[in-house]
Amino acid sequence: MAQETFQFDREKFKDVIHFVCTRCETAELGRVKLHKILYFADMLHFLSAGRPLTGCEYQKQQFGPTAKHLNWAIGQLRSEGRVRCERRDFFGFAKDDFVSMREPDSKRLSSDEHALLNEVIDFVCARTAREISELSHSAAWEMVKFGEVIPYFSALFLAPSETTEEDVAWAEATVKELGLAS
């Protein structure tokens, strides 16, 4: 598979995470949902703009795509006093809560990028961590092996598609035109 090369914007990645932590209810946002918000935002931005939002690499893991640099970024945000991370018991599992300590720096994010992030946040946070993990197991996730980087071009597989009557008519006409009809 061809390797894609996109510049990873570390500062923008941190700003996106800080924005997400500010925008989400603390009880609604844990690591699973944070990974998925970042993944969907980067992939959807790639679909609309031809380049990812942050350029972070996402790896295939058991519970869906994970942002390769999330732990680093959370550590940086904590040391900068922008985000606090609190671990708590959540039905017998450890859950990290992310609490924004101040308003995020938004100058690296355009109004369109804010709108995209808000849509993705609303979509992800309206579901349980399990539901959003299952939704992230798309054809894009399936196309690579565990631990491998999910290529951005696989974002094309995220959009559901339906076959219309026009699609069927076109296919039938093409088959006839090529003399492949039996």
Compute the average pLDDT of residues 137-162: 80
For residue 3, being part of any structural domain is answered with: no
Residues 6+ apart with CB under 8 A from 63: 32, 133
pLDDT of residue 134: 81
Residue 105, SS3 per DSSP: coil
For residue 151, being part of any structural domain is answered with: yes
- Note the Cα 127 to chain centre separation in Å: 14
For residue 5, being part of any structural domain is answered with: no
Q: Is 164 or 124 the better-scoring residue by pLDDT?
A: 124
Q: How many CB atoms lie within 10 A of CB 178?
A: 8
State the Cα–Cα distance between residues 121 and 160, nearest whole angstrom. 19
For residue 1, being part of any structural domain is answered with: no
Q: 48 lies in which domain range?
A: 10-177
Which band of pLDDT confidence, cut at 50, 70 and 90, is reported for residue 173? confident
For residue 113, being part of any structural domain is answered with: yes
List the structure tokens of 109: 């994010």
For residue 4, being part of any structural domain is answered with: no
Residues 6+ apart with CB under 8 A from 76: 14
For residue 2, being part of any structural domain is answered with: no
Count of the separate structural domains present in the chain:
1
pLDDT of residue 182: 55
For residue 182, being part of any structural domain is answered with: no
H or E element: which one contains 88? strand 83-90
